[in-house]
Chains A and B, each alone.
Chain A
């Protein structure tokens, strides 16, 4: 897993922005040439991917726009309503100016949070991260998981 983190292919953002600005993902033709260029550029430009990373939501709950104690049902319906907005097939119905949230990201968040055991582990990792901040109190759970997920980057989230 460690290896996969090295090249996160920041095409994430570039693919999205191109497909949405074209507004016609159904005809796959149009954005291909742009996309290759864009993904390679962003690959090469560290600054750009850093900028992308800084815009990222802090947690998977934020990605799905639900609270941390949301019920499985709420998570499911949040996923569906976001899918209706952000799935590339729905893109023509959407205005371009909206934030470029990626459907793959939404789906990955949903995949984790809809699986009870994966969600539990993820919750623990969230606590572990917060636990290391001085203002947060250390919980018993954090101790038991220390060394398991010591850092949390968006890439680690993608690996679920």
Chain B
């Protein structure tokens, strides 16, 4: 391109990098977990995890607010215990990002040792750290951005080059709105997101690379291998089924839920001190200290239960509140029975969606912080008839290593040995559709559709002479529209007056390989091939903060006057 051109990036886009340099910049892989984070990069021949100044590869994901300068767990050598007790440390933000204050996950975060306040109206929760006896407000995006900056500084110091492009791993159950909030946090940290990868698909990519390498080594036939990946961290549990051969990994199905180590911890805290919710409600300095003490002790007990059969807990929470208890592993497993049942159901659902039988699975890969819990390993293994779990990956490093490989692949790096000759064919983790047929959610793109994807569905008016139609786009699996994640809404106007059921309103959804969703709506009258009004194209999600209000407001304003119904299939 000889002549200079000036372009304005679309408002809904993040700014892309100009790839003009001769040497492509290798994007780094970042895993920002609920409790831990790490960075890895393809160093030309293999993946290398970067260490901080304290020689740690895995760092805690928290930010401590002190006076004016917040500092994260990456760089600072802080007495974490002390700051945690004082209410100045904010963590678990990956559980809260992009959620409104009516979300049960936000409510369960209210006993964290800092302030999480809800008004229960569908706006973002108020989050604050206690600094010098003052509540300093913050947001999940800001907290994530602070340690993303620290990770970036750390990587730039070691790689001796500016870092801009990143591949991040995200939970499967994240809505597209939550993904935009992660992108926002990255933008705040000066990072450009090349790809957001569902965590188990990053592991799948790593597995695909390993399979390709081993088939090179022994000149194997390179036949297809199917793996189930179970990833359970502090905040989320994800499952994926992948089929890999010749470096091409096809994600056959994904399943995920907001359950993780945090739930195990909450359940245990509740078990040890059932009245904790009411005791700590006021969030005074004393209460925060007690909450933090209870939290640290319980977390430690759960960790020890991974190697011991029972642990003794002796805890003085102040004000004469003491806990002296012996907890054994059976008790722990019973208290958290529901969590483990949910894990099983995710695996079953994922296998069913992938149309894969237990016997067809060649490898079972269990990763994430919770994979150290004996019960988790056992429950997964027992679902596969006691099959030995795959031991080719480090449970805590697999996701970030996969992200680093994707970073190299997506940056267009070539490897002379073909180690980057890889491709991941992704699938949509959640269905995307619109509200129609009353208050139902009608998926246009079902979950586990291969990406890029393009599907359309025809709807029609439900009133005579209806000239306007409201398109409300949701993402999720629930039958009732409002129980899903709202992505956006817009109105189609100028539908020709006609009896109900006559105009054909074609809703097309398009997801490209970069996971960008566009919704196109066209109106056609019978007998014509031409759309009667200009087609509308909307890039989703369009919703912003506080979107919990929106649907209620729309209902109040429009009632059902602009509703749609699906066109019955003519058999």
Contact = CB atoms under 8 A, between A and B. Distances in A.
Is A bound to B? Answer: yes
Interface of A: 1-4, 6-9, 11-12, 15, 19, 24-30, 32-33, 36, 39-40, 43-44, 46, 76-77, 80-81, 83-84, 87-90, 92-93, 103-104, 107, 111
B452 A104 contact: yes
Given A25-B512, A28-B512, A88-B452, A6 B458 contact: yes
B520 A28 contact: no
Contacts of B15: 29
Contacts of A88: 452, 512-514
Given A7-B506, A26-B195, A83-B423, A89 B537 contact: no
Contact of A28 (B7, B13, B224, B534): B13
A7 B410 contact: no
Contacts of B570: 1-3
B506 A6 contact: yes
A22 to B, nearest CB: 10
A2 B510 CA distance: 20
Interface string B172-205: 0000000000000000000000110000000000
A15 B510 contact: yes
A21 to B, nearest CB: 12
Contacts of B456: 4, 7-9
A107 B428 CA distance: 14
Contacts, number: 129
B529 A27 contact: no
B10 A89 contact: no
Contacts of A43: 522, 531, 535
A11 B13 CA distance: 20
Chain B's interface size range is: 35 or more
B32 interface: no
Interface string B422-433: 011100000000
B357 to A, nearest CB: 15
B508 to A, nearest CB: 5
A28 B535 CA distance: 22
B164 to A, nearest CB: 12
A6 B423 contact: no
A7 B516 contact: no
Interface string B520-551: 10101000011100110101000000000000
Give 10 nearest A-B pairs by CB, closest first: A27-B16, A3-B458, A29-B16, A88-B513, A28-B514, A7-B506, A80-B248, A3-B567, A9-B508, A2-B570
B524 A6 contact: yes
A69 to B, nearest CB: 21
Q: Most chain-B Cβ atoms within 10 A of its Cβ — which of A2, A27, A30, A104?
A: A27
A46 B531 CA distance: 11
A6 B452 CA distance: 22
A149 B412 CA distance: 44
B166 to A, nearest CB: 12
B534 to A, nearest CB: 7
A11 B510 CA distance: 10
Given A7-B456, A11-B454, A107-B450, A90 B514 contact: no
A32 B248 contact: no
Contacts of B224: 76
A89 B513 contact: yes
B453 A89 contact: no
Given A9-B508, A11-B510, A27 B19 contact: yes
Nearest to B567: A3
A44 B530 contact: yes
B484 to A, nearest CB: 22
A46 B524 CA distance: 14
A26 B514 contact: yes
Contacts of B424: 89
A26 B411 CA distance: 8
Nearest to A16: B452
Given A19-B512, A93-B412, A111-B450, 15 more contacts: A9-B454, A9-B506, A15-B510, A26-B411, A28-B16, A28-B514, A28-B516, A29-B14, A40-B537, A43-B522, A77-B246, A80-B245, A83-B248, A87-B423, A90-B423
Contacts of B7: 33
Nearest to B459: A3
A46 to B, nearest CB: 6
